[in-house]
Structure 1
Amino acid sequence: MIAVISPAKTLDYQSPLPDLAPTKPHFASEAMTLAAAAAKLGEDKLASLMRISPALAKLNAERFHDFATAPERPAMFAFAGDVYTGLEAKTLDEPAILFAQGHLRMLSGLYGLLRPLDAMRPYRLEMGTRWAPGGGKLTDWWGDRIADRLVEEVEAEGSGTILNLASQEYWHAAEGRLPASIRVIAVDFREGNRFVSFHAKKARGAMARWMIEHQVSDTDAMRGFDSDGYAFDAEASTSTLWRFVR
């Protein structure tokens, strides 16, 4: 089983890192291509495309301009935000991190698909951005590449199963592009009968952490997830959509 989560807009390039060698992203050259194209957009265009403030547009224009020489950091320790608050990667021990390297993936608008230890440079480029080199949307530019790579990694891992903990925006990069042989299980987190985005994001990270800490490779065993008071709701779940309620 491979669990897939979204990246985050907030980044952390200051906190201490574990003493583990970083790995190279599979789509490193594609990231360079996208960053070089985005560097030509300018602050005003970035502000409009990303719907961000002038200050954030300036920051990200500088990031794209200096991308080739920017510092690198393992992805799982570079992303911050709600999902990564639930993941709490900084408190994982080495065996858990190494298990995550084989069983956790982060979707990315710039890097396509990242492993936890893949070295990434700071950026902001959401998968839903209606821009790509040559025109069109970012998901169109990526085409089948992300899905094809995900299939390769799932087949190499051996389970044939993806636990989808990503947002719809990011899962759209793979949705409809996977063969029927790949089992995909989406997870829905509820507060009673209500969906609360903030809590759901944190719960996605907490479920990824639970999988990593317990080194769960049996997909059905993930129904035992019980962090932060969540419990599997069998009556509200199907074979492809699992609901957890607290």
Structure 2
Amino acid sequence: MLDQSEPLVDLLSTFSPADLEKLMLISPKLAELNVERFHQWRRPFNIKNAKQSIEAFQGDVYTGLAVENFSDDDFLYAQEHLRILSGLYGVLRPLDLMQPYRLEMGTKLVNEKGATLYAYWGDTITDNLNQQLQRLKSEVLVNLASNEYFKSVKPKKLHADIITPVFKDWKNGDYKVISFFAKKARGQMSAWVLQNRIDSPEALLEFNVDGYVYSASHSDEKSPVFIRKQD
């Protein structure tokens, strides 16, 4: 979706470090770094100026994804079945090249299509997912994105049942979503689905990585809950 990414880069290239600091609520140092990144953004992408997206992203979700354990076949399977939502790139496949950037999907960036990135991307992300669902002849999408990013998808226009797993840890006498652990678990489930070629909602319930197990009593049909008690 680089044709859609480029106008965003052009817009953000007009921002000063102070502008970017205010827009993204980041430190002066990070603002300067990302102003430089937007100024250096160039097409075409190649292996000298870009990285494959699955190798480029960092954070708790990607720690859980642990791509260092993927085989070549796992990467190829992921290319067909995993999609990464991005504020700048819209939808990325794992092996797609990308240049570094910072642009959270929830950023209130006034642009030619509205006041937010949700307005900018409109139906584009949903349409892309529908095309791939059709190619795979799949009627199920497993949503392991954060709420901020999945808001860029329009469920009523998506031609699939959406399954949104939830991960809860035992704390202070109850099972609760703890952000750090839940993020990592979303990455772990992504890896587990890809490496085990999981292809049905029923098989998804067998997930049992890092102490998590499915709890029917906490779940409903579209939101299976996986719970864990740690010592």
Matched residue, 2:185: 203
Deviations 1:60-112 (A, max 9, x none): 00000111167111110110110000000122110111111111110000000
Give the 3-state SS of the residue equivalent to 2:224 in structure 1.
strand
TM-score normalized by the length of structure 1: 0.86
- RMSD (Å), alpha carbons: 1.3
Correspondence 1:72-87 to 2 at 5 A:
72-87=50-65
Matched residue, 1:104: 82
Matched residue, 1:37: 11
TM-superposed deviation, 1:177: 4.7
The higher relative CO (CA closer than 8 Å, separation ≥ 6) is in 1
CA distance, structure 2, for counterparts of residue 104 and residue 200 of structure 1: 19
Counterpart contact for 2:168–2:226, Cα < 8 Å: yes
Counterpart contact for 2:123–2:154, Cα < 8 Å: no
Matched residue, 1:178: 157
Give the 3-state SS of the residue equivalent to 2:42 in structure 1.
helix
Matched residue, 1:49: 23
Counterpart contact for 1:144–1:177, Cα < 8 Å: no
Q: Which range is displaced more, 163-172 or 65-74?
A: 65-74
Give the 3-state SS of the residue equivalent to 2:165 in structure 1.
strand
Matched residue, 1:146: 125
Counterpart contact for 1:32–1:68, Cα < 8 Å: no
**Structure 2 stretches of 5 or more lacking a match?**
none
Correspondence 1:162-241 to 2 at 5 A:
162-179=141-158, 181-192=159-170, 193-241=175-223
Counterpart contact for 2:163–2:201, Cα < 8 Å: no
Equivalent pairs counted in the alignment come to 219
Structure with higher Rg: it is 2
**Structure 1 stretches of 5 or more lacking a match?**
1-26
TM-superposed deviation, 1:29: 1.3
Counterpart contact for 1:86–1:203, Cα < 8 Å: yes
Sequence identity of aligned pairs in percent?
39
CA distance, structure 2, for counterparts of residue 203 and residue 100 of structure 1: 17
CA distance, structure 2, for counterparts of residue 160 and residue 34 of structure 1: 32
Matched residue, 1:67: 41
Letter in 1 for 2:31: A
TM-superposed deviation, 1:219: 2.9
CA distance, structure 1, for counterparts of residue 38 and residue 132 of structure 2: 29
TM-superposed deviation, 1:204: 0.2
Letter in 2 for 1:166: A
TM-superposed deviation, 1:125: 0.3
TM-superposed deviation, 1:133: 2.2
Letter in 1 for 2:151: H
TM-superposed deviation, 1:215: 1.5
